[in-house]
């Protein structure tokens, strides 16, 4: 018996709901939009399930009434032959079985493409464009790895979305005041009445190619998953950081350093020369609520970090202090410093006044100032022939993500 279309729809709804839920280890930090989407998916799955059970009961009763009298059970027991409500209930597999079947079909596709064994094809899910959807459990593993390899994603606000664009007007914080409140003025948090540079955050396609040797394809599923996850998370993290730092906003996410609304900052008086006084002035270019936030940080290109690392105070101590805690970033003037090589490198091209022209250093509250929109679904296309001469198989993954500055006043730049 083939799968009932409504059961297939219910399974897809539950898979999407699980993928969203698994993204938030702490339920208290789950955005309202994500919780609402999960509730809607669960409600739709429940509706489909009840409809299938209703159809099964009708069919069951109809079969019973059309059987010859001698075959009927005139007691209270169920009849046989038709799919009963209990039978429909048994169609739902356990969590472990669902995960095993979904991932088993995915890795069978990775190894053999559409020449996979027939028993796996029913569990392989494709989108409307015919691209294979990566199982939600595996996607969750990859996305959870991203903050370890990426900088800006780990600092920004990340919201899930189910569309190609996400409205950012909903994050506009209204002004507040004692007594009569005058409306129509700019909110004190840095969001204008029409917030940020854009009204929406557009979602873009990020394609990442992973090439795997034919011999590696024979590895066990867990080993193959580890190889793909490690390679993919590194590629996505690098591309995301570059875009979130200096993306143009038209073919990839908008970068912090190119947002037109971020007009405040300090230009180095001596071009490529970094001074402690100028760095100190940068921190005062953002409002106090962002400057005193525990999320306020420095973002700097390696070329700028090298110059900052050589600065000393009057007692000969370096201003950029390494953190003694393992894995923690260095600090500059009490704020964490993160190296983001997607920012512009210091160049020798200065303006006519001799001031710097490259926004090689940014300061601000990334959590309040930048938002990332995640579609949270990955698709994969298997490229068999293209890399055959290398003894490899190509896996082209498509990750859909957007990003934009939502509070320009939360950032300030240092031009070198």
- Per-residue confidence (pLDDT) for residue 39, from 0 to 100: 87
Helix orientation angle between 221-246 and 136-149, rounded to the nearest 10 degrees: 50
Other CB atoms within 10 A of residue 381 CB: 16
Residue pLDDT, tens place only, 301-344: 999 999 999 999 989 999 999 887 777 899 999 999 999 999 99
- Per-residue confidence (pLDDT) for residue 357, from 0 to 100: 74
Provide the percentage of residues in the chain whose pLDDT is more than 90: 30
Instruction: Among 117-131, 194-208, 251-265, 387-401, name the one with the lowest average pLDDT.
Output: 117-131
- Per-residue confidence (pLDDT) for residue 73, from 0 to 100: 43
Sign of the alpha-carbon torsion through 224, 111, 15, 201: positive
How high is the mean pLDDT of the chain?
Answer: 79
Residue pLDDT, tens place only, 47-96: 888 888 888 878 777 766 655 443 444 344 444 444 444 444 444 455 56
Q: What is the pTM of this model?
A: 0.69
Residue pLDDT, tens place only, 334-380: 999 999 999 999 986 544 444 457 899 999 999 999 999 988 778 88
- DSSP H stretches of helix in 321-380: 366-369
- Per-residue confidence (pLDDT) for residue 106, from 0 to 100: 82
Q: Decide: residue 194, CB within 10 A, 0-12 exposed, 13-18 middle, 19+ buried.
A: exposed
Q: Decide: residue 305, CB within 10 A, 0-12 exposed, 13-18 middle, 19+ buried.
A: buried
What is the average per-residue pLDDT within 286-304?
A: 93
φ and ψ at 15, to 5 degrees? -65, -45
The residues near 363 (Cβ < 8 Å, ≥ 6 apart) are 282, 283, 285, 286, 296, 297, 298, 299, 335, 411, 412, 413, 414
pLDDT of 1 above 50: no
Q: How far apart are CA 369 and CA 383, in angstroms?
A: 39
Q: Decide: residue 25, CB within 10 A, 0-12 exposed, 13-18 middle, 19+ buried.
A: exposed
């Amino acid at each position: 018996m083939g799968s009932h279309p409504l059961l297939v729809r219910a399974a897809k709804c539950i898979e999407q709901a699980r993928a969203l839920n698994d993204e938030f280890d702490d339920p208290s930090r789950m955005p309202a939009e994500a919780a609402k989407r999960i509730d809607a998916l669960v409600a739709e799955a429940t509706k489909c399930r009840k409809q299938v059970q209703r159809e099964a009961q009708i069919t069951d009763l109809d079969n019973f009434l059309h059987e010859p009298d001698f075959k009927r059970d005139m007691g209270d027991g169920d009849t046989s032959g038709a799919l009963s409500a209990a039978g429909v209930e048994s169609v739902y597999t356990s969590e472990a079985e669902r995960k095993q079947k979904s991932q088993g079909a995915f890795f069978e596709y990775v190894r053999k493409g559409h020449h996979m064994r027939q028993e796996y094809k029913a569990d392989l899910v494709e989108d409307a464009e015919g691209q294979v959807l990566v199982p939600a459990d595996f996607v969750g593993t990859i996305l959870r790895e991203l903050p370890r390899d990426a900088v800006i994603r780990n600092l920004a606000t990340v919201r899930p979305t189910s569309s190609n664009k996400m409205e950012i007007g909903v994050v506009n914080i209204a002004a507040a005041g004692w007594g009569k409140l005058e409306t129509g003025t700019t909110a004190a948090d840095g969001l204008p009445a029409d917030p940020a540079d854009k009204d929406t955050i557009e979602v873009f396609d990020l394609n990442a190619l992973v090439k795997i040797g034919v011999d590696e394809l024979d590895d066990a599923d867990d080993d193959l998953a580890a190889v793909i996850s490690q390679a993919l998370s590194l590629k996505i993290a690098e591309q995301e950081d570059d875009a979130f730092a200096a993306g143009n906003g038209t073919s990839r996410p908008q970068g912090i350093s190119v947002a037109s609304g971020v007009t405040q900052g300090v230009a180095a008086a001596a071009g490529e020369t970094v001074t402690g006084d100028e760095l100190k002035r940068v921190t005062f270019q953002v409002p106090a609520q962002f400057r005193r936030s525990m999320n306020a940080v420095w973002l700097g290109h390696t070329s700028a970090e090298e110059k900052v690392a050589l600065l000393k105070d009057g007692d000969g101590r370096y201003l950029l202090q390494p953190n003694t805690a393992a894995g923690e970033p260095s600090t500059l003037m009490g704020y964490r410093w993160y190296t983001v090589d997607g920012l512009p490198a210091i160049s020798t091209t200065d303006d006519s006044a001799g001031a710097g022209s490259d926004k090689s250093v940014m300061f601000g509250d990334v959590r309040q100032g930048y938002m990332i929109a995640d579609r949270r679904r990955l698709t994969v296309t298997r490229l068999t022939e293209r890399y055959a001469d290398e003894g490899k198989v190509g896996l082209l993954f498509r990750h859909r993500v957007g990003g934009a500055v939502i509070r320009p006043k939360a950032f300030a730049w240092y031009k070198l």
